[in-house]
Structure 1
Amino acid sequence: MTRAQLAGVILGLSLVAVLTIVRASDPQPLRLAREATFDQYQRLAPRHFESMPVRVVDIDEASLQQFGQWPWPRDRMAALVEKLTELGAAAIAFDILFAEPDRLSPRTVVRDVPGIDPALLDRLPDNDETFARSIAGKPVILGYGISNEGNYRPRMKAGIAFTGESPVDAPPHIKAATPLRPQLEANAAGIGHISLNPGRSTAVVRATPLFLTDGEQLYPDLALEAMRVAQGASTYLIAGAPDRQGIMTSVKIGDFVIPVTSAGELWLYVSPDRAERYVSAKDVLAPDGVSPETKAAIDGSIVFVGTSAAGLQDIRVTALGENVPGVSLHAQMVEQVLSGHYLSRPDWANGLEIASIAMLGILLVILTIFVSPAIALACGLAITGLALVASWLAFSLAGLLFDPFAPIVMGTITHFATTSFRFLVTDRERRAIRRAFGQYLSPSLLYRIEHTRNALRLGGDDRELTVMFVDVRNFTEISERLPPTAVVRFLNTLLDALSRHVTANEGTLDKFIGDSIMAFWNAPVDVTDHPAKAVRAALAMRETIARLNESDAFGFGAGQTVRIGIGIHTGVACVGNMGAESRFNYSAVGDAVNIAARIETACKTVSFDILASDNTVRSLPGWALLDAGSLELKGKSARTRINAVVGDENVASSPDFAELRLLHGKLIEALHSRSPGSRKIVAAAKAKAAGLPAGLQDFYGRISRRADDFLAKRAGAAVEANAGYAEQQFGSGS
């Protein structure tokens, strides 16, 4: 692991830790995003509306138009109770506050009239008393709200039993409640709070508490009391956590067990608002009688009395994005319990989501820093898709609420942060290497440099290299007869075609020197079998120049050909960045480079296009090689043994080359002994060489004039080995 990678890991894991802590603290933006995600699930798959014995008697605009503005006198409320009881309502729950005396009561109206007879005042009807008498003995549930003033607590109409530890501290706390008129409180069959989302800043009602608490007593909500009264139940059975106080898990009322959050809330699984849920109050109070449809809707139903009139400001927003009367949400709570379609968010969901953020973050950091940002992104997208699918399936199949939003967002932040770090810091060295070496190396070799630790040490290292020089023959004559632009076009065509073989064989292009190419192998990283790869590149250049000449790629016309000479040598050289601090090149210097350059020049003397030193051909057993003698190279005190590269192993295995190799050995013996029979052997060698791909006619045409090159003591065993191989395969005669 490099220091840059270590820094990237530390930064990435630190970011993951911060994001995990942020998710664990659950700030409001994350909660709102999570709840919006759950809203979207409900919009995709809302609870289907089913005809349930639950109705809303709506004091709508038509009712206000017929019976007068709000508030209605409570004697009309009494008439409504009487009518609903007559129609067979199982429970009548008022989502209306009755905290103040009825100001429309006759007794209240005339109380302040000067000189009124107190006896007459006592004989006038009181609407509150009328309403109280009407609800006595009937399944009527009255509502109350939360107040910050006073110390009123509503009267409990049912008992509460616990299993497990006490959950009294679980629900939202209240300081006080809006008081009910005493006579109404005394005669009501049930009393419940009407607060749908107390303490929440959002207008969307997603979960509503089934109880409120003052720290000592639990107080049920309106819908819960309506279900209790409708079933004739007298007690709530609340399940708490077995080993921890202040946790609520479920509420049993009559025949129904309701799963709740730890705070005693019911997640609302709403259905679209439907007209079938509502009955207009004017239809119930119709003076000419109730229609059969209205009677059928009320009979046996839990009835909630409330208002949808816009001016009364009891409009709420559901998870489906609909604006509905608040009273309809109480009705939907009962519908949800009766249908058994619940939503729940397990207590361990938070822990699972926090752990998923940590694990996903760690995985993305490791993949981004050590593998590839693209692979990390692909894995992140795959995990994101799985998280979305799993979250959706949990919702649609089991009603479970798991948040895919936070892990996805925080995983995205982690990925882009670590990717940016890698691009800016970790990959800086690789980008520098790619800029410096991209024009010299093959992509595969460049990849090895980038991904091998300490593979590149700049500044000058002694390494064994195989060095190649390539030069165009008679370039001066070519350039004299061409205009400068044509010369440039010719060089571009030639050098581009030839240099491709260097990079294709894992070589490094050092430089272009006019019409020449310098290249080397085994730097800046190790290249296995580098002498063979250099010679293969030279053979490919031979084929390429022949193809270019045949197709007249240079535009010289028929009969005009371009020839090249290639010199190859293997030896130790110093390789590294060389030049000034402001401008330098990656290059090699040393005796091995000089020898390779001199061997390329010797191609003219030998009249052959590819020559390699003994140091190079020692690594080429079984190749088609011919001894070209020991030459005096400029600057060298001793002769250097060189070899003509005829072809690769396939050429060497051909019968023609085997016979030529045998003849070549005999020719060298004849030249060494100054035998006059060497001319016949040269003629035979020329004839045999005609069937081989390399042009050896000029090579053998000049060899007799180079007899001195073969008089020096032969170093190495290349000729003897080649001759022995031919003797073994084809005998001593030709």
Structure 2
Amino acid sequence: MTRAQLLGVLTGLALVAALTSLRASDPPLLKSAREATFDEYQSIAPRAFEDLPVRVVDIDEESLKTFGQWPWPRDRMALLVARLSEMGAAVIAFDVLFSEPDRLSPRSVLRDVKGIDPALVRRLPDNDEILAQTIAGKPVVLGFALSNDGSYRPPVKAGFAFTGESPFGAPPHLAAATPIRPGLEANAAGIGHISLNPEGSSGIVRSVPLLLSDGEQLYPNLALEALRVAQGASTYLLAGATDVADTITEIRVGDFVIPVTAAGELWLYVSPDRPERYVSAGRILAQDGIAQDVKAAIDGSIVFVGTSAAGLLDIRATALGHNVPGVSLHAQTVEQIISGRFLARPDWADGLEILSIAVAGSLLVLLTTFVSPAVALACGLLITALALVASWLAFRYGGLLFDPLAPIFFGSVTHFAATAYRFLVTDRERRVVRRAFGQYLSPSLLHRIEHTRNALRLGGDDRELTIMFVDVRNFTEISERLSPTEVVRFLNTLLDALSRHVVDNEGTLDKFIGDSIMAFWNAPVDVADHPKKAVRAALAMREALVHLNERDAFGFGAKRKVAIGIGIHSGVACVGNMGAETHFNYSAVGDAVNVAARIEAACKDVGFDILVSETTAQALGRFALLDAGALALKGKSTRSRVFAVLGDEKLAASAAFTELQPIHGQLVEALRLRSPDARRVLSTAKLQAAALAPGLGEFYRRISRRAEHFADAPAARGRAGE
């Protein structure tokens, strides 16, 4: 790991830690995005409407036109209760406040009129008393709202039992409530609060608090109380955490068990608003009788009385994006409990999401730093897809709410930051490497150099290399017949065709020296079997030159062929960046380089295009090689044995080479011993070589003139490595 990479990892992990802490603090913006995601899930797959025994008696615009503006006199509300009770309503729950005396009551109207006998006034009907008497003994639940004034607390008509720690600190706080008229309060079968989102910052109702608390007493909401009264239950059973106070996990009322949040809230899983849910209050109060379909809808149902009239300001927004009467949400709460279709956000959901941000972010930092931004992006997209799919499946089939956006958003921020850091800092050295080596190395070698520390430090190392020199034969003669521009064009065509085989075989192009190429293998990084790869590159060059000549790529005509000589040697050389700090070349120097250059020059004397040193030949194994004798190389005190490279393993296994090999061995032995049979064996070798490779004719013609090159050497081998 380079210093830049280490710094990048530490910086990236610090960013991941900061983002994880930000998610743990759960700022309002993240919470709003999460809730919007859950709203979208409900929009895609809302709770299906079921014809359950829950109805809304709606004080709608038509009812107000028929019976006058709101508020109605309470004797009319008493008539409404009486008729609903007669039709068999299981419960009549009012999403209506009865906190003030009825100003339309005859007693209230005449009380302040001067000259009226007070005794007569007391004998007049009082609408509040009429309503109180009507609800007595009937399953009527009245509602109250939260208030900022006074200290009124409504009576609680049911008992509470709980398991685990005390739950009184869990629900939203009730400071004060709107009062209920005394007679109504006393005669009601149940009392529940009508607040839908007392602590909600959004206008969308996503959850309903089933309980409120003043610290000493719990107060059920209207829907919960209606469900209790409908079942004739007397007690709520609350389950909480065994080791955590002020936490509620579920509420049992009668036969129903309701999973809730720690604060005792029910996540609303709403269904689209349907006309079947509503019955107009005007149809209940109709003087000409009640229709049979109305009676059937009310019979046995939990009935909520409320209003949808726009002027009465009880319109709420739902997760589906619809505006509905507030009373319908109370009805939907009961529908949801009866149907058992619940939504839940487990207490451990926050922890899971925070952990996923930390793990995914750390993974993206490491991938971006050590692999590539593209791989990190692919993994990020995979994580995004998995998060979305897992979150959706959890909602669709388990009713569980998990936030996919926070991990996706924070993962994207992490990937962008890590990628930017890598481009600006970590990859800066690699870009320098690419500029320095991009034209001279194969992509695989270039990649390895990019991940090697100190790849471009000035200086050299002693390494075992295989060095190649390539030179154009008769270049002076060729250049004399061409203009400078034509010479450049010729060299570009030739050198481009030859040099690409160096790169393709994981070699390093050192330099172009006029009409020559210098290349080496096993630097700047290790290359396995580098002698073989160098020889394979030479054979590919030979084949490429044949094709160039056949199609007259140089424009010299069919009779004028371009020839090259290639010398290869394996040995220790000093290789590295040589020059100045600001301008240097990656090159190799040393005796091994000189030997390779001398072997290339010897191709002219030997009469063959590819020669390798004995060191290289020993590393090749079963290549098709022929002993070319021990040459006196310039600058060397002893002769150096060289071998002509006919071809690769395939040629070495051919019948023609198998027949030529022993004959060539006999020739070398005869020349070494200066035997009179050398001429006869040479003739046989020439004849056999003609069928193998046309270029061997010149090779054998020159052997007879170089008999001394074999005289001081032991018996040679036909193929290196045998």
Sort the Cα spacing of 1:115 and 1:575 in 2 relative to 1 into closer, same or farther, 3 A: same
Q: Contact 2:619–2:721 (CA<8 Å) still a contact in 1?
A: no
Equivalent in the alignment of 1:251? 251
Matching of residue 233 in structure 1 with residue 233 in structure 2: yes
**What letter is aligned with 2:604?**
K
**What letter is aligned with 1:148?**
N
What CA distance in whole angstroms lies between the structure 2 residues aligned with 1:667 and 1:434? Answer: 51
Q: Contact 1:59–1:308 (CA<8 Å) still a contact in 2?
A: yes
Equivalent in the alignment of 2:73? 73
What CA distance in whole angstroms lies between the structure 1 residues aligned with 2:158 and 2:44? Answer: 39
Q: Give the drift of 1:557.
A: 2.6
User: What are the ranges of 5 or more consecutive residues in structure 1 without an aligned counterpart?
Assistant: 727-734
**What letter is aligned with 2:497?**
A
Sort the Cα spacing of 1:88 and 1:605 in 2 relative to 1 into closer, same or farther, 3 A: same
Q: Contact 2:627–2:716 (CA<8 Å) still a contact in 1?
A: no
Sort the Cα spacing of 1:631 and 1:293 in 2 relative to 1 into closer, same or farther, 3 A: same
What CA distance in whole angstroms lies between the structure 2 residues aligned with 1:252 and 1:528? Answer: 74
Q: Contact 1:449–1:456 (CA<8 Å) still a contact in 2?
A: no
Q: Contact 1:647–1:694 (CA<8 Å) still a contact in 2?
A: no
Q: Give the drift of 1:56.
A: 0.8
Q: Contact 1:665–1:723 (CA<8 Å) still a contact in 2?
A: no
**What letter is aligned with 1:135?**
I
Q: Give the drift of 1:650.
A: 4.1
Q: Contact 2:175–2:214 (CA<8 Å) still a contact in 1?
A: yes
Q: Contact 2:161–2:237 (CA<8 Å) still a contact in 1?
A: yes
Equivalent in the alignment of 1:98? 98
Q: TM-score, normalised by structure 1?
A: 0.91
Moved more, 53-62 or 366-375: 366-375
**What letter is aligned with 2:92?**
I
Sort the Cα spacing of 1:242 and 1:720 in 2 relative to 1 into closer, same or farther, 3 A: closer
Alignment of 1:459-470 (within 5 A): 459-470=459-470
Equivalent in the alignment of 2:274? 274
Deviations 1:55-110 (A, max 9, x none): 11111111111222222222222222222222222221111122222333334344
Sort the Cα spacing of 1:189 and 1:432 in 2 relative to 1 into closer, same or farther, 3 A: same
Q: Secondary structure at the match of 1:546?
A: helix
What CA distance in whole angstroms lies between the structure 2 residues aligned with 1:673 and 1:164? Answer: 108
**What letter is aligned with 2:542?**
R
Sort the Cα spacing of 1:694 and 1:330 in 2 relative to 1 into closer, same or farther, 3 A: same
Deviations 1:602-644 (A, max 9, x none): 3223332122233333334554334434444444555544333
**What letter is aligned with 1:26?**
D
Q: What is the number of equivalent residue pairs in this alignment?
A: 722
Q: Give the drift of 1:700.
A: 3.1
Equivalent in the alignment of 1:609? 609
Q: Contact 2:251–2:259 (CA<8 Å) still a contact in 1?
A: yes
**What letter is aligned with 1:159?**
G
Equivalent in the alignment of 1:345? 345
Sort the Cα spacing of 1:394 and 1:528 in 2 relative to 1 into closer, same or farther, 3 A: closer
Moved more, 588-597 or 662-671: 662-671
Equivalent in the alignment of 1:152? 152
Equivalent in the alignment of 1:693? 693
Matching of residue 720 in structure 1 with residue 686 in structure 2: no
Q: Contact 1:456–1:525 (CA<8 Å) still a contact in 2?
A: no
Equivalent in the alignment of 1:619? 619
What CA distance in whole angstroms lies between the structure 2 residues aligned with 1:279 and 1:598? Answer: 107
Deviations 1:669-704 (A, max 9, x none): 666677787655544443332122251222333444
What CA distance in whole angstroms lies between the structure 2 residues aligned with 1:138 and 1:666? Answer: 126
**What letter is aligned with 2:84?**
L
What CA distance in whole angstroms lies between the structure 1 residues aligned with 2:145 and 2:596? Answer: 99
Q: Contact 1:459–1:578 (CA<8 Å) still a contact in 2?
A: yes
What CA distance in whole angstroms lies between the structure 1 residues aligned with 2:320 and 2:720? Answer: 93
Moved more, 142-151 or 525-534: 525-534
Sort the Cα spacing of 1:557 and 1:720 in 2 relative to 1 into closer, same or farther, 3 A: closer
Alignment of 1:470-619 (within 5 A): 470-619=470-619
What CA distance in whole angstroms lies between the structure 2 residues aligned with 1:653 and 1:43? Answer: 74
Q: Contact 1:95–1:306 (CA<8 Å) still a contact in 2?
A: yes
What CA distance in whole angstroms lies between the structure 1 residues aligned with 2:129 and 2:63? Answer: 24
What CA distance in whole angstroms lies between the structure 1 residues aligned with 2:684 and 2:231? Answer: 120
Sort the Cα spacing of 1:645 and 1:224 in 2 relative to 1 into closer, same or farther, 3 A: closer
Q: Give the drift of 1:662.
A: 5.0
Sort the Cα spacing of 1:57 and 1:691 in 2 relative to 1 into closer, same or farther, 3 A: same
What CA distance in whole angstroms lies between the structure 2 residues aligned with 1:125 and 1:205? Answer: 41
What CA distance in whole angstroms lies between the structure 2 residues aligned with 1:59 and 1:20? Answer: 50
What CA distance in whole angstroms lies between the structure 2 residues aligned with 1:407 and 1:725? Answer: 61
**What letter is aligned with 2:9?**
V
Q: Contact 1:251–1:258 (CA<8 Å) still a contact in 2?
A: yes
Sort the Cα spacing of 1:649 and 1:139 in 2 relative to 1 into closer, same or farther, 3 A: closer
Q: Contact 1:455–1:525 (CA<8 Å) still a contact in 2?
A: no
What CA distance in whole angstroms lies between the structure 2 residues aligned with 1:622 and 1:246? Answer: 83
Equivalent in the alignment of 1:731? none
Q: TM-score, normalised by structure 2?
A: 0.92
Q: Contact 2:101–2:181 (CA<8 Å) still a contact in 1?
A: yes
State the superposition RMSD in angstroms.
Answer: 2.9
What CA distance in whole angstroms lies between the structure 1 residues aligned with 2:719 and 2:511? Answer: 39
Q: Contact 1:456–1:524 (CA<8 Å) still a contact in 2?
A: no
**What letter is aligned with 1:153?**
R
What CA distance in whole angstroms lies between the structure 1 residues aligned with 2:688 and 2:103? Answer: 130
What CA distance in whole angstroms lies between the structure 1 residues aligned with 2:720 and 2:315? Answer: 106
Q: Contact 1:662–1:723 (CA<8 Å) still a contact in 2?
A: no
**What letter is aligned with 2:277?**
R
What CA distance in whole angstroms lies between the structure 2 residues aligned with 1:369 and 1:644? Answer: 48
Equivalent in the alignment of 1:11? 11
**What letter is aligned with 1:720?**
A
Equivalent in the alignment of 1:46? 46
Q: Secondary structure at the match of 1:690?
A: helix
**What letter is aligned with 2:177?**
A
Equivalent in the alignment of 2:30? 30
Sort the Cα spacing of 1:105 and 1:445 in 2 relative to 1 into closer, same or farther, 3 A: same
Equivalent in the alignment of 1:394? 394
Q: Contact 1:646–1:694 (CA<8 Å) still a contact in 2?
A: no
User: What are the ranges of 5 or more consecutive residues in structure 2 without an aligned counterpart?
Assistant: none
Equivalent in the alignment of 2:87? 87
Q: Give the drift of 1:152.
A: 0.9
Q: Contact 2:465–2:520 (CA<8 Å) still a contact in 1?
A: yes
What CA distance in whole angstroms lies between the structure 1 residues aligned with 2:55 and 2:568? Answer: 98
Q: Contact 2:623–2:719 (CA<8 Å) still a contact in 1?
A: no
What CA distance in whole angstroms lies between the structure 1 residues aligned with 2:422 and 2:670? Answer: 68
**What letter is aligned with 2:691?**
G
Deviations 1:402-441 (A, max 9, x none): 3333333333333333343334434443343333222212
Equivalent in the alignment of 1:730? none
Moved more, 609-618 or 302-311: 609-618
Q: Give the drift of 1:487.
A: 3.6
Q: Contact 2:170–2:263 (CA<8 Å) still a contact in 1?
A: yes
What CA distance in whole angstroms lies between the structure 2 residues aligned with 1:239 and 1:699? Answer: 100
Q: Give the drift of 1:489.
A: 3.5
Deviations 1:531-583 (A, max 9, x none): 23222221221122122222333333322211111122223322111233333
What CA distance in whole angstroms lies between the structure 1 residues aligned with 2:275 and 2:667? Answer: 113
Q: Contact 2:626–2:719 (CA<8 Å) still a contact in 1?
A: no
**What letter is aligned with 1:287?**
Q
Q: Give the drift of 1:327.
A: 0.3
**What letter is aligned with 1:582?**
T
Q: Contact 1:631–1:709 (CA<8 Å) still a contact in 2?
A: yes
Sort the Cα spacing of 1:48 and 1:413 in 2 relative to 1 into closer, same or farther, 3 A: same
What CA distance in whole angstroms lies between the structure 2 residues aligned with 1:153 and 1:655? Answer: 110
What CA distance in whole angstroms lies between the structure 2 residues aligned with 1:669 and 1:235? Answer: 115
Sort the Cα spacing of 1:599 and 1:398 in 2 relative to 1 into closer, same or farther, 3 A: closer
Q: Contact 1:171–1:211 (CA<8 Å) still a contact in 2?
A: yes
Sort the Cα spacing of 1:522 and 1:312 in 2 relative to 1 into closer, same or farther, 3 A: same
Q: Contact 1:60–1:309 (CA<8 Å) still a contact in 2?
A: yes
Q: Give the drift of 1:144.
A: 1.1
**What letter is aligned with 1:511?**
K
Moved more, 19-28 or 89-98: 19-28
